[in-house]
Amino acid sequence: MRGMGNMQGMMKQMQKMQKEMAKAQAELEERSFTGTAGGGMVTVEMTGKRLVTDVIVKEEVVDPEDIEMLQDLILAATNDALKQVEDTTASTMGKFTQGMNLPGM
């Protein structure tokens, strides 16, 4: 029955890893990420849950004759913040699956 003890040990390790993954995910979701565009003229803040919490537009960048530029800057700042969330999530959560050959992970 040596195999059963081995299996229990593996299950305990998996449960521990699941708890660590859940904790890491929760910490990521609580973090704040800041994306910028136009040399800091537009700033977008979001949580790790990808919820935008703030958009800051400096007055100098507002030109009623060029609304498209402002829209482009807001999009760029939002995408910058999203990329930071995705990169940080991939590097943090990747630690848990590194070296494991698990389908779907």
- pLDDT confidence of 84, banded at 50, 70, 90? very high
Pick the CATH number of 27-90 from 3.60.15.10, 3.40.190.170, 3.40.50.720, 3.30.1310.10: 3.30.1310.10
Domain boundaries, the chain: 27-90
pLDDT computed for residue 95 by the predictor: 82
Q: Is the dihedral of CA 90, 7, 13, 22 positive or negative?
A: positive
Q: Measured between alpha carbons, how far is 88 from 54 in angstroms, rounded to an integer? A: 20
* Model pLDDT for residues 6-58, shown as the tens digit of each residue: 888 888 888 988 899 999 889 999 999 999 999 999 999 999 999 999 999 99
Low-confidence winner among 9-13, 82-86, 89-93, 97-101 (lowest mean pLDDT): 97-101
Q: What is the dihedral of CA 68, 71, 75, 77, to 10 degrees?
A: 110
In terms of DSSP H, where are the helices of the chain?
A: 2-30, 67-97
Residue 104 pLDDT: 55
